[in-house]
Amino acid sequence: MGTGNPHEDTLRRIKRGLSGYISYLAACEMNSAFSEYVLYEPMLRILTARGYEVECEYAMPNNEQGDDPRIDFVGNHHDNGRIAIEVKWKKHINPQIQNDFQKLSNYHHQNGDASCFLCVFGRRSHIEGWVPNVNQFVEFGDPVYADFGQTRFGCRIFELAPN
């Protein structure tokens, strides 16, 4: 059953693709290289395959001194509109998502028609049942878990709720 969001199919593919891809890398004994950045390449491939023009590490204008905050993925689709995605590989009980929320919230404020998402990836035992400590996120669709006995990785996506 669909949510009616124009990005639904793409987000479902991201969840499925990341879960399978990282399980494959684990089978290749690549666990020591695991970080959020390992998720970028498959996400970029899925987004571009679905027709998005994508910018990784999109720099947000910053009125304060210092580096501009960067959003992991910003994409534009000629039919589906804009999308912004922050990625978090959840290795801890309570990962820090306040900065992710702030970046997505600021992006949405500047681009009101954009859909903004937090993609949370990790071991099933780390992400199953986890609730973001920022209540402006609402889970988008069902989680996807790749359960192959040895490796049990999964992906959940949360949408920035409208204010």
**Could you tell me the domains of the chain?**
8-160 (3.40.1350)
pLDDT at 1 over 60: no
48 or 96: which leads in pLDDT: 48
pTM above the 0.85 mark?
Answer: yes
pLDDT at 140 over 50: yes
pLDDT at 101 over 80: yes
pLDDT for residue 158: 97
pLDDT at 14 over 50: yes
In this prediction, residues 91-99 reach a mean pLDDT of: 83
R_g over Cα of the chain: 15
In this prediction, residues 105-113 reach a mean pLDDT of: 91
pLDDT for residue 64: 63
pLDDT for residue 10: 97
pLDDT for residue 81: 92
pLDDT for residue 54: 98
